[in-house]
Amino acid sequence: MEILQDLHPDVDFETEEHLVDDKILDSFDIVSLIAEINDNFDIAITAKDILPENFNSAQALYELIRRLEEEA
């Protein structure tokens, strides 16, 4: 959540559910987001997981991270 707030301090990430579809996050945001997540959580988000549905809300992103942590 902190990583997302740093990216766009003015967006309410608790409620937004269409971060990618509504172009709140663009491709460069996604790239820096993934780099930060991979650094902080010791997981590797790869191209297979880079789909709009995994990045549309903080909740979806959280679930992606959980899933990858379990697989690791």
- DSSP line for the chain: -HHHHHH-TTS-TTT-S-TTTTTSS-HHHHHHHHHHHHHHHS----GGG--HHHHSSHHHHHHHHHHHHHH-
Under the binding rule (CB under 8 A), the answer on residue 31 touching other proteins is yes
Under the binding rule (CB under 8 A), the answer on residue 2 touching other proteins is no
Q: Which residue has the tokens 């909740």?
A: 59
Name which position in 46, 63, 66, 69 contacts other proteins (CB under 8 A): 46
Provide, rounded to whole angstroms, the least separation between the CB of residue 1 and other proteins: 14
Name which position in 8, 16, 41, 60 contacts other proteins (CB under 8 A): 8
Name which position in 52, 62, 63, 66 contacts other proteins (CB under 8 A): 52
